[in-house]
Amino acid sequence: MTSEDKIKQAFQDKDWNEIKSHDSWVIFKVMAEFVDGFEKLAKIGPCVSIFGSARTKPDNEHYKMAEEIAAKLVRHGYGVVTGGGPGIMEAGNKGAKSENGKSVGLNIELPHEQGNNIYIDSDKLITFDYFFVRKVMFVKYSQGFVVMPGGFGTLDELFEAITLIQTSKIGRFPIILVGREFWSGLIDWIKGTMLEAGNISPKDLDLINMVDTAAEAVQVIDDFYAKYLLTPNF
């Protein structure tokens, strides 16, 4: 049953076309997506999200790195969450699947993108209409973000997490940028421009870790939870 079907069932005695003609209809669609996401993801246990470009091909070093990181995460007791699509997302789910770990996909309906990849557990695929609902799920049900090279969407998810932690809207969790060659320019700009202008504090830089290997990425997560003894974010 789709989200729309569930809402329609709840309003059986109403004129359905009239309901859908109002802007307030969107509230019910959003609510249904939140309910669906919370119900499914509350059961998955500790997981780490892997982000990166949907355009990365399987023969690319970043694809192979994401796959290796995901496999290592499973061996260290974590499940893996991705955006459910191709590229780095596929690599993350593939790596988790290779170790028989939990492989979660939070897919998004887009007009020109491919569908979900084949490495997601059948009971752990959720497809969203709204980016903002999907991002809430990533933040709420992840114990860490591993951020591979990507585009605007990857940066959006990265800075969303940094902002929420910086403003104490969520508890701190490890954020790892993989690939110094790719990320160093951004970090240099943050230090040389944002920090110099006084728009962030020096301690804000501590929210980001930059690594080059799969072992380093997983070690950051292991060290974080060994040090802070934090429980999962749910």
- Domains (ranges, CATH) in the chain? 1-41 (no CATH), 45-228 (3.40.50.450)
Per-residue pLDDT of the chain in tens (234 residues, 90 and over written 9): 666 666 666 556 556 565 555 667 778 889 999 999 999 999 899 999 999 999 999 999 999 999 999 999 999 999 999 999 999 999 999 999 999 999 999 999 887 766 889 999 999 999 999 999 999 999 999 999 999 999 999 999 999 999 999 999 999 999 999 999 999 999 999 999 999 999 999 999 999 999 999 999 999 999 999 875 545 443
Nearest-CA neighbor of 141 among 42, 1, 39, 5? 42
Q: Model-level pTM? A: 0.86
Those residues whose C-beta lies under 8 Å from the C-beta of residue 228, and which sit 6 or more positions away, are 172
| Rounded Cα distance, 61 and 69, in Å | 12
Could you tell me how far CA 217 lies from the centroid of its own chain? 16
